[in-house]
């Protein structure tokens, strides 16, 4: 929230110096120096209400005492990393907690969402080869999907502007319409190893996939012996008001990928695998130097306990439903909003002007929000945001949208 008056608008603040960081990001013209709860503090002396959560990462907000204590306790063991040549207790415990909370029998830890999806592709091919030979290797993703920026995850990502400069992308990966008939035509049981989808598409505009569509995909993939991978990197771990987004539909995948909020802001990803797939993966098939180290896993254990708490999830579900109603009211009051979509603490708002313009005005007014496509705003508040804090953000949003 803005507490200090500014002599200039934030977007007019000149950059202090040219950054030595490679220019892959179009950064906002502020520098973050601290945070508490759902607020971030800028070097310009302003406080910003954060409805981005570091793009879905900071579910517990900023300066969380539990995360700090977990970090201190993990650091005091003296072992931040020991490689995957040796087992460590935090990794073992975290994997067991994920298995106990899901369909999975095993977990592979890595360091990011894209890495989790690339791992899942490899595991899918490993399993598919064991039942159908080398021809059964293709991966099918969905229109509007986003799975990362590495070569295979980019090939599964439906953003032409991200793909075009880097062709040829990894082969054997194609994109289907979000339509069962199209999928039915593409899913050849002899050649297709896996389908990957986000139960709630994030970057592609915040689209909650219809449970009947998910049921249809599950039926098709089961019938044709094709692995179904749910990418819950953005929508998983409480963001929708359930621990896993697919719980809303009751449809269970064969693999699930997680990342963003898993370790409270430290880099961590995970692939959860069904018993059938896990049993085909052998030592040496895949690896990572850092994945699942004792430091990140200790912090993730704390975060997972908090995010999987029933009372916490109920609160997100109830506040999320209320937020959806308030956004629908907002949309009803202005022709500048075309549509509102979402669930829990994950909402997309289609606007009539380029989303970047609204994002910039919100920043000037003290609210950090995201876009998801050219004409869609995206709200991903920390899951700890109270109704009062959500209301405060909505009030700023209303002013800058209309």
Ligand X SMILES: Cc1ncc(COP(=O)(O)O)c(C=O)c1O
- The distance of Cα 138 from the centroid of its chain, to the nearest Å, equals 24
Residue of the chain from 231, 254, 364, 389 that contacts ligand X (CB under 6 A) = 231
Please give the residues from 104 up to 123 whose contact with ligand X meets the rule CB under 6 A.
112-114, 117
Shortest spacing between CB 266 and ligand X, in angstroms: 12
Please report, as residue ranges, which positions from 245 to 284 form the binding site for ligand X (by CB under 6 A).
259
In angstroms, give the least distance from the CB of 94 to ligand X: 18
Which C-beta is closer to ligand X: that of 10 or that of 121? 121
CA 279-235-199 angle, to 5 degrees, is: 70
Q: How many Å apart are CA 225 and CA 219, to the nearest integer?
A: 10
Phi-psi region for residue 292, left (φ > 0), alpha (ψ -120 to 50) or beta?
left
Binding mask 120-149 for ligand X (x = CB under 6 A): --------------------------xxx-
| CA distances for 55 relative to 12, 51, 168, 360, 377, angstroms | 24, 9, 28, 16, 13
CA angle 366, 368, 370 (to 5 degrees): 150
Q: Please confirm whether the linkage preceding 239 is cis (ω < 30° from 0).
A: no
| Shortest-Cβ-distance residue relative to ligand X | 113
156 versus 337: smaller Cβ distance to ligand X: 156
Please, which residue, 57 or 70, has the CB nearer to ligand X? Answer: 57
Residues in the interface with ligand X (CB under 6 A) total 15
Q: Of the listed pieces 1-9, 212-220, 226-234, 376-384, which binds ligand X according to CB under 6 A?
A: 226-234
Report the residue number, 42 or 148, with the smaller CB distance to ligand X. 148
Give least dist CB 145 to ligand X, A.
8
DSSP state of 93: H
Residues 180-219 that bind ligand X (CB under 6 A): 198, 202-203
> Residue 264 contacts by C-beta under 8 Å, 6 or more apart in sequence?
58, 59, 60, 64, 67, 70, 299, 300, 302, 303
Residues 148-167 contacting ligand X, CB under 6 A: 148
Tell me if residue 257 falls in helix, strand or coil: strand
Q: What is the largest distance, in Å, between two alpha-carbon atoms of the chain?
A: 67
**Nearer to ligand X by C-beta: 259 or 303?**
259
Binding site for ligand X (CB under 6 A): 55, 112-114, 117, 146-148, 198, 202-203, 231, 233-234, 259
């Amino acid at each position: 929230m803005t507490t200090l008056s500014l002599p200039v608008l934030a977007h007019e603040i000149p950059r202090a110096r040219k950054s030595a960081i490679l220019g892959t990001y179009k950064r906002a013209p502020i520098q973050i120096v601290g945070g508490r709860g759902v607020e971030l503090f800028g070097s310009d002396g302003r406080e910003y209400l954060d409805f981005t959560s570091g793009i879905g990462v900071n579910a517990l907000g900023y300066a969380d005492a539990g995360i700090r204590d977990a970090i201190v306790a993990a650091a005091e063991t003296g072992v931040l990393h020991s490689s995957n040549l040796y087992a460590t207790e935090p990794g073992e415990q975290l994997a067991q907690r994920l298995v106990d909370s899901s369909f999975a029998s095993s977990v592979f830890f890595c360091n990011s969402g894209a890495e989790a999806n690339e791992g899942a592709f490899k595991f899918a091919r490993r399993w598919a080869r064991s039942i159908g030979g080398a021809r059964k290797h293709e991966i099918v993703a969905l229109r509007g999907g986003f799975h990362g920026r590495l070569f295979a995850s980019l090939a599964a990502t439906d953003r032409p502007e991200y793909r075009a400069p880097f062709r040829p992308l990894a082969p054997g990966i194609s994109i289907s319409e979000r339509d069962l008939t199209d999928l039915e035509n593409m899913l050849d049981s002899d050649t297709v190893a896996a389908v990957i989808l986000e139960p709630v598409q994030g970057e592609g505009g915040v689209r909650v996939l219809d449970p009947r569509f998910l049921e249809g995909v599950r039926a098709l993939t089961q019938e044709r012996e094709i692995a179904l991978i749910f990418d819950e990197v953005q929508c998983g771990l409480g963001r929708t008001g359930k621990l896993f987004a697919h719980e809303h539909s009751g449809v269970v995948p064969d693999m699930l990928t997680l990342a963003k909020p898993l370790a409270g802001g430290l880099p961590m990803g995970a692939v959860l695998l069904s018993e059938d797939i896990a049993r085909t993966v052998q030592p040496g098939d895949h690896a990572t130097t850092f994945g699942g180290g004792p430091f990140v896993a200790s912090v993730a254990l704390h975060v997972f306990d908090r995010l999987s708490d029933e009372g916490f999830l109920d609160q997100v579900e109830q506040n999320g439903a209320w937020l959806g109603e308030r956004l629908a009211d907002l949309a009803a009051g202005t022709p500048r909003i075309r549509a509102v979509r979402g669930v829990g603490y994950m909402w997309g708002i289609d606007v009539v002007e380029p989303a970047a313009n609204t994002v910039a005005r919100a920043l000037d007014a003290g609210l950090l929000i995201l876009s998801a496509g050219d004409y869609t705003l995206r709200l991903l508040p920390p899951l700890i945001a109270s109704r009062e804090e959500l209301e405060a953000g909505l009030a700023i949003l209303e002013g800058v949208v209309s």
